[in-house]
Amino acid sequence: MDAISPVRSSSAVAALATPPTSAGEAMYSGAHTLVVVAAGVQDPGNAGAIVRVAEAGGATGVIASGGTADLFGWKALRGSMGSTLRLPVISGVDPMDAIADAKRHGCRVIAAAPRSGRSPFDIDLTGPVAILIGGEGHGLAPALVDAADERVTIPMQAPVESLNAAVTAALLVYEARRQRSATKTRKRET
C-alpha cells in the first residue's frame, strides 16, 4: 500500500475506476437545481471539501473549471470523503462554458466576490442556481463576475477581507438550503 498510496495512514483497500461521464445532465435535472462551479480552485483539499459541502448541503452537482484541481486526484477524493463518487461532478470545463451551460439549463448564475455584492441573505437562492466560487488568492476573474447574473458578498468583520474557497461554498450552499427549506415549510402551511 505504501507504494501505491501517498497517504500516511491509508486503508487496506485500493481501487481503480473510470470517472463517470454522464454527470452533466444529471446535475441539472429536477426543479431544485443547485450547482457549484469552482473556477481556479487550485488546492485539491479545498476542491474536495467543496464537493463534500455541496453534497452535504443538497447541491445537485459540482463543476471544476478554470484550472481547478482534479476532483478525482487522491487529495481531492480524500477531502471529499467520498462525495465525489456520489454527487454528479464534471472536471476540465472552461468557466465561460460552464456559465453558458448553467444559463441554458435555466439557472441564475451567482458569482461570489469579496466586495460590491449583495448579502447572501438578500438574494433569492430558491430557484435553479449556479454558484461561482473563485480560487485561492485572486478569486474569480472579472470576466466571470461580469458574465454572472448577480454578485454575492459574504459579510465579514474587518480586517478580514476574504474567506477560504470551501468555506465560501459552504456558507452559500447552506444559505440556499435554508431558503429552500423555508419555502417548502411556507408552501405546506398554505
Q: Please report how the helices 44-56 and 165-189 are oriented relative to each other, as an axis angle in degrees rounded to 10.
A: 10
In 10 A of CB 141, how many CB atoms?
18
Residue 67 vs residues 22, 40, 64: alpha-carbon distances, Å: 21, 5, 8
Q: How confident is the model at residue 37 (pLDDT cuts 50, 70, 90)?
A: very high
pLDDT tens digit sequence for 157-178: 989 888 899 999 999 999 999 9
pLDDT tens digit sequence for 60-100: 999 999 999 999 988 998 899 989 989 999 999 999 999 99
Q: What are the structural domains, with CATH classification, of the chain?
A: 23-189 (3.40.1280.10)
